[in-house]
Amino acid sequence: MNNTSNPARRVLPYAAGVSLIAGAAFFFAGLATSPPSTGDDKAAYLQSLAADPFQTQLSALLLHYGNLLMGAGLLALPLLVRGRRGAVMTLVGALLGALTLLEMSGALLSDWFHMEIGRNLPVEQAVALSDKVLAHPAQQLAFSPGPLVSVALLLTFAGLARAGVLGWWAIGGIVLGYAGLLFMPYDTPILPALGTVPMLAVMAVAGLRVIARTRVDAAGPVPVPA
């Protein structure tokens, strides 16, 4: 039986590849439209979110869907591996990466919370309330994966590189992009957006590989002339 007879075998991997590409684009747009912050402390952060509610909501929405789509798309990457080499690394990394990126997508709800307390409370009270909410261990477990995201992505793409699906350059792209996300100044939001381009490019290339593999599998084996 042709294992492409089930439409889901074609549609789901194709959708995952598109999700990786679209998620990378949404994430870039979300960072680029982030409200500029005048400082690194919590008070400056809350004031930046409160200053322009439309921009805050646009950025949060784009970042939410960027993380969500990339998290869902990662689940298809282990399907690119043929054989045992790199398979376990890719599978573990993709599962952990999907979980942490989906957690981060949910964490964007806090932007609406922070925007409103920044608009309706004195800044000292707003900071105290934010710190109190975010200090709950269960909240941190649910929505603050921290460095696990970078570990998961490195593991995923190291597995794909070991399997020969992508080159080892992908690891450098993840490292450079994550460094750009952490260290570029957020008073000019386009800078961290540009800083993440190497990492987002790796995600987009992986999405293209998923789409290409899906098309090849759907076409079936090439007939050999007699």
Where would I find the H helices in the chain? 8-32, 42-51, 53-74, 87-107, 109-120, 123-134, 137-143, 148-162, 169-183, 190-195, 197-219
- Domain parsing of the chain, residue ranges: 8-219
Residue 121 CA to residue 125 CA, distance in Å, equals 6
Task: Quick: pLDDT tens for 21-69.
Answer: 999 999 999 999 999 988 888 999 999 999 999 999 999 999 999 999 9
Residue 6, pLDDT score:
77
What is the CB neighbour count within 10 angstroms for residue 162? 17
Residue 1, pLDDT score:
39
For 74-101, letters b (16+ CB in 10 Å) and e give bbbbbbbbeeeebeebbbebbbbbbbbb
Residue 206 CA to residue 210 CA, distance in Å, equals 6
Task: Quick: pLDDT tens for 147-193.
Answer: 899 999 999 999 999 999 999 999 999 999 999 999 999 999 999 99
pTM over 0.75: yes
Residue 120, pLDDT score:
96
